[in-house]
Amino acid sequence: MALSGSAAMVLFYDIEEQAVADHDHWHTHEHFPERLGIPGFLRASRWVAVDASPRYLVLYEVEEVAVLSGAPYLQRLNNPTPWTTRTMPNFRGMVRGFCGVAASAGDALGHSLCALRYQPRKGDEAGLQQWLAAEVLPALAAQPGLASAHLLAPAAQPPMTKEQSIRGRDADLPLVLLATGYDPAVLAAAVAERLPDDEFVRRGAAAAPARGRYRLDLVQAVA
């Protein structure tokens, strides 16, 4: 499968405009290597908005959800470096969740990504997931121009830590559908065709999903 491991941490956020360059430098040369040094972290990717808000989508792929509540990860969160401490106040609107990989299709990771965030209607959770997992994800992943599609479901609540207290409390992450491809225009058209708002709601979503298109900015993996 395109995702490494059975779980992931997903983050959506903005950075103060004057701090973007320093954020990207810190993220690339300190933060990602630090996170990937934690046992169970497998790959980290940073995506930047093409037609989306907020600016960043960050994905950490991990062996299992328990890694994200384990002592090695919490030790880092509660002991931020000086550079991290200076960077955290520049974060805005953080949405963050610890997720299990509920469904996945495709064996590659494209450089273009469409993200849909949504909540199921009460009582329609199973039907909506079944439709997405059995019909939508395989069809997207198999289409020319696309590479993979994944359904991530929140599985644990991120605890308050020193890092989060510096930047402010994070908002909860709903369910997330990620589709990646190597042709951005084809990817956007395929997602729009197979997942129009009205069909999404008819199948069990509480409301139309929040949508965004992103491009891959950086990826690092454990050697």
pLDDT digits (tens, 9 = 90+) for 150-173: 999 999 889 999 999 999 999 999
**What is residue 49's predicted lDDT score, i.e. its pLDDT?**
97
**What is residue 1's predicted lDDT score, i.e. its pLDDT?**
57
Provide the token pair at 156. 């644990």
Q: Mapping DSSP to helix (H, G, I), strand (E, B) and coil, where does residue 136 land?
A: helix
* CA–CA dist 14, 100 (Å, integer): 24
Residue 130 lies in a domain: yes
Residue 177 lies in a domain: yes
pLDDT digits (tens, 9 = 90+) for 54-63: 999 999 999 9
**What is residue 2's predicted lDDT score, i.e. its pLDDT?**
84
Continuous segment of H or E residues that includes residue 71: helix 71-77
All residue ranges of the chain with pLDDT < 50 are none
pLDDT digits (tens, 9 = 90+) for 168-198: 999 999 999 999 999 999 999 999 999 999 9
**What is residue 76's predicted lDDT score, i.e. its pLDDT?**
96
* CA–CA dist 165, 38 (Å, integer): 21
**What is residue 34's predicted lDDT score, i.e. its pLDDT?**
97
**What is residue 217's predicted lDDT score, i.e. its pLDDT?**
98
Residue 1 lies in a domain: no
Residue 142, exposed/middle/buried by CB under 10 A (0-12, 13-18, 19+)? exposed
Q: What is the CATH number of the domain that holds 109?
A: 3.30.70.100
Structural domain count, the chain: 1
Residue 52 lies in a domain: yes
List the domain range (segments joined by +) for residue 127: 7-221
**What is residue 140's predicted lDDT score, i.e. its pLDDT?**
97
Is 213 in contact with 50 (CB distance < 8 Å)? yes
Provide the token pair at 183. 């042709």
Residue 145 lies in a domain: yes
Residue 2 lies in a domain: no
Provide the token pair at 15. 């950075």
**What is residue 183's predicted lDDT score, i.e. its pLDDT?**
98
